[in-house]
Amino acid sequence: MADGGSEEGRVLPFRRRDTAPQGHPPTGRVARGARLAAVPVAYAGRRIAGLGKRVAGRDPADIDRDIRVRTAEHLFQVLSELKGCVAKLGQLLGLLELGLAPELAEPYRLALARLHDSAPPMLPGAVHAELATHLGPRWRELFLEFDDRACAAASVGQVHRARWHDGTQVAVKLMYPGARRAVLADLQALRRATPLFTALLPGADTRPVVEALCTELGDELDYAREALNQRAFATAFADDPDVVVSRVIAQRGDVLVSEWLDGVPLTRLIEHGRAAELDRLGVLILRFLFSAPARVALVYGDAHPGNFLRMPDGRLGVVDFGACTPWPADFLTVAGDVGAAVIAESPVELEAALRRHGFVAPDRDLDIATVIARLRPVRDALLAPAYPLSATWLREQVRLVTDLRLTNVLRQLTMPPAHTALLRSFLGGVAILCQLHTTVPLRAECTRWYPETAAAAGL
């Protein structure tokens, strides 16, 4: 095995033509754009080829399925190669694939499962060089054992299993060389795309919302910040009977060493887990996401199946705390005010509350009757002792929200930028609970953790 000083171990510089060493994400705007642009081009080519196969007498249903499978494989191969923000997009697609019809979603679900679980081919020498850069040239002395094979992949890094010098089993999270530059390039592209969002959502002030999202994604590059977040969660949940968060062992530069959690990721349980067990884990995820702001004053923003584990003792293990943001100080007031109007289904009170708290621009009209109809599932979930979530339920909500017609009431609404992290956490959490087919005790969790707000809302 080559060490960090060998020819294999050195991290090679990025070439001027935006190619990168094996295992490193391309960081140039042109190279990353070309990777993404290749997906629709290839899709168009498959459609044209499919016409020829139809003429030859092949079953059209088989042809369409083959096109979907190959396109899904191509898309998530590109997302895996690019990593960075576009890999975050892949995670979001994975959470919302339940919003597609089953026959359309299956190829994407299978490809995404591989994206979540696969480790990129980062050569051992490059791993050693990064460890030497951040932990020092004598980094090996910190470990009794270190597995050069990555055991998990993240959007901007990968994880290796190791044993710390005191014998503790640890997870070593290491940022990809060049990932920071790649993410910053993606963020600039996202900022340039702001006019597109404005066209889709004319009632929203999209620029500050996009800027808030870019700030959150940029903060995830700071492993020192992530370590502080993780320590805060580990302390708050130290004696929790339902949730376990691993201790931070060390953090230096772009390396984060944490106590190993020996659990089974939800990505592996969703397909074959028992219904009762999946429902129980879903309730624990709901409890974790709901209680975090009350206990840590932070929003856990990276809710997707790869970050949750079933521990051997049945508890919920939680990893990856890079996407945590401070709890908005005014949110409980907003939730109580808007929640009361939602539960009362009062058009006058709800429109007043939405305008008062910045969800509608002052000069915009609002179809309040449709807003009430769209929020009725939330009302039902808050009032019921337990509310069943499912793929079918999510599919209907996604259909309503993504309707591109000008009459879609979503186009009349906006969102305070400070609430972007909450929306991200909410969307991720709901999608996971639907995947797990969780019957959520939403009312009980609201009243348990936020009794004053629940009372103000009339629960």
3-state secondary structure at position 174 = strand
Q: Which of 94, 117, 140 is the last residue in one of the domains?
A: 117
Residue 418 within a domain? yes
Helices 368-383 and 347-356, axial angle in degrees (round to 10): 90
Q: What is the pLDDT of residue 358?
A: 87
At 392, the pLDDT band (50, 70, 90 cuts) reads confident
Q: What is the pLDDT of residue 270?
A: 86
Q: What is the pLDDT of residue 439?
A: 96
Instruction: Compute φ and ψ for 5, nearest 5 degrees.
Output: -95, -5
Residue 290 within a domain? yes
Q: What is the pLDDT of residue 382?
A: 93
- Residue ranges making up the domain that contains 442: 264-459
Task: Residue 256: name the closest of 236, 226, 231, 285 by CA.
Answer: 226
pLDDT at 267 over 70: yes
Of the chain, the end-to-end C-alpha distance in Å amounts to: 62
For 399, half-sphere exposure in the C-beta direction (CA atoms, 13 angstrom radius) is 8
Q: Which of 209-218, 260-269, 320-329 has the lowest mean pLDDT?
A: 209-218
Residue 334 within a domain? yes
For 106, half-sphere exposure in the C-beta direction (CA atoms, 13 angstrom radius) is 7
Q: What is the pLDDT of residue 146?
A: 97
- The helix (H) or strand (E) run that includes residue 55 is helix 29-55
At 10, the pLDDT band (50, 70, 90 cuts) reads very low
Residue 438 within a domain? yes
Task: Residue 268: name the closest of 283, 281, 286 by CA.
Answer: 281
> What percentage of residues in the chain have a pLDDT greater than 70?
66
Mean pLDDT, the chain, integer: 77
Q: Which of 117, 133, 154 is the last residue in one of the domains?
A: 117
Query: How much is the average pLDDT of 108-121?
Result: 50
Residue 432 within a domain? yes
Query: Which has more confidence, 202 or 293?
Result: 293
**Contacts with 438 (C-beta within 8 Å, 6 or more apart), sequence order:** 278, 279, 282, 283, 285, 286, 388, 389
Residue 143 within a domain? no
Query: How much is the average pLDDT of 248-268?
Result: 94
Residue 236 within a domain? no
pLDDT at 313 over 90: yes
For 453, half-sphere exposure in the C-beta direction (CA atoms, 13 angstrom radius) is 20
Q: Which of 73, 98, 117 is the last residue in one of the domains?
A: 117
Query: Which has more confidence, 399 or 273?
Result: 273
pLDDT digits (tens, 9 = 90+) for 381-390: 999 999 999 8
Residue 201 within a domain? no
Q: What is the pLDDT of residue 402?
A: 61
Q: Are 317 and 310 in contact (CB under 8 A)?
A: yes
Instruction: Compute φ and ψ for 91, nearest 5 degrees.
Output: -65, -40
Tally of structural domains, the chain: 2
C-alpha span between 317 and 284 (Å, rounded): 10
Query: Which has more confidence, 78 or 298?
Result: 298
Following DSSP, what letter does each residue of 381-431 receive, concatenated? HHHSSSEE--HHHHHHHHHHHT--STT-GGGG----GGGHHHHHHHHHHHH
For 175, the token pair is: 């940022």
